[in-house]
Chains A and B, each alone.
Chain A
Amino acid sequence: MHTEDFLREITAIRGLSGDEGLVADFVKAQFEPLCDEVRVDSMFNVIARKKGPGPRVMFAAHMDEIGLMVVNIEEDGSLRMGQVGGVDPRILPGQRVTVFGKKKLMGVIGAKAPHLLSDEERKKNYLREDLYVDLGMDAEKVKSLVSIGDQIQLEHRYTALQNGRVSVKTADDRACVAILYDALKRLQHIHHEADLYFVATAQEEVGSRGALTSAYSVEPDYAVALDVCHADTPGAPSTRTHKQDSLVASMGPYIHPVLRQKLVDTAKDNNITLQTAVVPRYTSTDADDIGISRAGVPTALLELPLKYMHTTVEQLDLNTLKEGGRLLAQFAAAVSSSWEDELWT
């Protein structure tokens, strides 16, 4: 499968944090022909191993998706929403959603018509608590088909823009799962000494919970977490955003400096452009939990710049994604048992 098709397919699958079973099945099926063994654990983490005699290396990208959940059904059948992960309420009005009740139901999130707003209301942002899903059905019918706790998925439409730019929901972080896939394909033709683990993690959006347990299972010697960061957009603080056309290797106290340098060296050797970001404290990615698993794991972080994070039109550059696959494959091939002596010198 082309990496682009992988991205198109994986971003369409339902997989809210904590219920990633369907995405896990897809990833397992795609990784299996490229690996020696693949398993899905009790948290729905997909753990794929490509064997080698050398150090154990874990590459992690999360596959869970933010979304909404039914928390109450009003007398008139409208659905009140809770959130799974950080959903920005400003993007909700105008959304088409799917409610996974006893069957799949289409619904819309509307808003009070602008004509009906008071001057006060006009100045305010919407709150999730004030909004609801309208299924267009009578209350009796709604109550027979929908239960509290049912998942609500925001709409996904894969939109190919110009110049290899793509807008799609859940590019955070399935675009990085696509990087894992791209790297695995390349590794079919590259020799590697390392014992490689490609992990699509669960529940990152609610606190890197899948990374915590999978890092414990894998017990890696080194790890690289892959996640998204913010790409430049008009008006955004430039100190916190990066060019969309190349990857970012973050540095900071949570990132192992020598392992990061290995990543930078690999990029240089292969003519891959890398930007630098400084993260002064925690990175809020899987890297944080993997780094302190068991007795500690030297961990680096590779980030893919993304516009409009946590919206349904997250935008990335496909070429940057593929460069990520190339870098990861080359890095995997470069890992050597001699690194052990170099880490703290």
Chain B
Amino acid sequence: MLRDTLQILLAAYGPSGHESAVADAVRELLEGHVDSMKTDALGNLIVEKFGTDENAKTIMISAHMDHIGLVVTDIEKEGFLRVNAVGGISPLFVRGRKVVFKDGLPGVCALEPNTKNKSTPDLSDLFVDIGAESREEAEKLVSIGDMAVYAPDFTALGKHKVASPAMDDRCACALLCELLMYAEGQKHNIVGVFSTQEEVGLRGAKVAAYTVEPDIGLALDVTAWGDTPETKLPAVKLGQGPAVKIMDRSMIASPAVREKLFEAADLAGVAVQREVLAFGGTDGGAIQLSRGGVPTGTLSIPCRYVHSANEVIDMRDMEGALKVLLQFVDLA
């Protein structure tokens, strides 16, 4: 079940550059369902499931495993941790949050009191309290360079929506897992790439695309929302179906792939939205520019409050996206 797969993947620790626990979870889920699995030098998990058509194309489908987080830069003499950002993490979202380190060590984030009235505090105004009473005690638990992420916290909201940290992009990892599990006798070769370091510059997908040399590229990622108070753009709503990306800062989707996605949605009977994003990027941007160029698109899951500890998606959009993907890998 999509929801179960999602929950398993959301629970794994995986800031950018340290994604191996997520890869382990994916490997366990996919054991016996695919033709090959291998891990490359950047930690990308590259999974193949061969197609049946004698002229099968190779479709690289990427979902990133890494999660934004905090990295320890200094330990104060009272035992508090100073941190910097791993990926685009805002102090406004972090303040008051519970975080965890690799071994499960918890901490809570607080802002210095004199920054309470600042409209945009800096990360340097923030510290992490792990309960240590001295630098010596803290140093036994944490080292400079250790990374923390929002503590796992899965919550159902209403009938169809779920909230959790790391929806970006574990919801796409869950989709890719389910696609690889349920695609049966599809025309084309699927190369699923569970990529690393997307949040720090699409770095995993870049090298994976070089290795895979695909005929077609597709990134799966979350996109921003326009359906909450005083939020206008993009014109994307939760529960109205997955979104086919027209463009963002990293990529203008190749028209041919974009149209194939619309075609697949049509055949699957799934309503899709059209997405134009003035900011942000996905693995698609890196895949499209690999070697001599790869026709590439992105299928997005609409997600509220992206990069906060409560990223909200609608499971109906997930179910719809899976149906579109199953058609997409079977299209001529």
> Size band of the B side of the interface?
20 to 34
Cβ of A312 under 8 Å from chain B = no
Cβ of B176 under 8 Å from chain A = no
Residues of A with C-beta under 8 A to B295: 42
Cβ of A54 under 8 Å from chain B = no
Cβ of B288 under 8 Å from chain A = yes
* Closest residue of B by beta carbon distance from A128: B278
| In contact, B274 and A45 (Cβ under 8 angstroms) | no
Given A71-B233, A148-B276, A203-B252, decide whether A43 and B293 contact each other with a Cβ distance below 8 A: yes
Cβ of B289 under 8 Å from chain A = yes
Given A147-B274, A149-B276, decide whether A42 and B254 contact each other with a Cβ distance below 8 A: yes
Cβ of A21 under 8 Å from chain B = yes
For B52-91 the 0/1 string (1 means CB < 8 A from A) is 0000000000000000000000000000000000000000
Cβ of A19 under 8 Å from chain B = yes
Residues of B with C-beta under 8 A to A42: 254, 292-295
Q: Which of A210-218, A226-234, A262-270, A279-287 contacts B (4 or more CB under 8 A)?
A: A210-218
Cβ of A206 under 8 Å from chain B = yes
| In contact, B293 and A71 (Cβ under 8 angstroms) | no
Chain A nearest Cβ from B245, distance in angstroms: 9
| In contact, B233 and A72 (Cβ under 8 angstroms) | yes
| In contact, A71 and B255 (Cβ under 8 angstroms) | no
Residues of A with C-beta under 8 A to B273: 148
| In contact, A72 and B293 (Cβ under 8 angstroms) | no
| In contact, B247 and A217 (Cβ under 8 angstroms) | no
Greatest chain B CB density within 10 A among A42, A72, A84, A216 is at A42
Q: What is the CA–CA distance of A209 and B275 in the complex, to the nearest angstrom?
A: 21
Chain A nearest Cβ from B297, distance in angstroms: 11
Given A42-B294, A213-B289, decide whether A71 and B252 contact each other with a Cβ distance below 8 A: no
Residues of B with C-beta under 8 A to A224: none
Chain A nearest Cβ from B219, distance in angstroms: 15
Residues of A with C-beta under 8 A to B276: 69-71, 82, 148-149
For A196-212 the 0/1 string (1 means CB < 8 A from B) is 00000001001001101
The interface size of chain A toward B, counting residues with CB under 8 Å, comes to 29
| In contact, B292 and A213 (Cβ under 8 angstroms) | yes
Q: What is the CA–CA distance of A72 and B247 in the complex, to the nearest angstrom?
A: 14
Interchain CB contact (< 8 A) of A217 among B253, B255, B275, B292: B292
Cβ of B21 under 8 Å from chain A = no
Residues of B with C-beta under 8 A to A43: 254, 288, 293
Q: What is the CA–CA distance of A38 and B276 in the complex, to the nearest angstrom?
A: 33
Q: What is the CA–CA distance of A73 and B253 in the complex, to the nearest angstrom?
A: 21
Interchain CB contact (< 8 A) of B292 among A21, A41, A73, A82: A41
| In contact, A206 and B235 (Cβ under 8 angstroms) | no
8 A/B residue pairs, CB under 8 Å, sorted by A: A18-B253, A19-B252, A41-B292, A43-B293, A69-B276, A84-B247, A149-B247, A203-B252
Q: Which 6 interchain pairs have the tightest Cβ spacing?
A: A18-B252, A149-B246, A213-B293, A217-B292, A148-B274, A43-B293
Give me 20 other A-B pairs in contact (C-beta within 8 A), A17-B252, A69-B246, A72-B232 excluded: A19-B255, A41-B292, A42-B294, A43-B254, A69-B247, A69-B276, A71-B276, A82-B278, A83-B278, A84-B252, A148-B246, A203-B252, A209-B288, A212-B289, A213-B293, A214-B292, A214-B293, A216-B291, A216-B292, A217-B293
Chain B residues engaging chain A, CB cutoff 8 angstroms: 226, 232-235, 246-247, 252-255, 273-276, 278, 288-289, 291-295
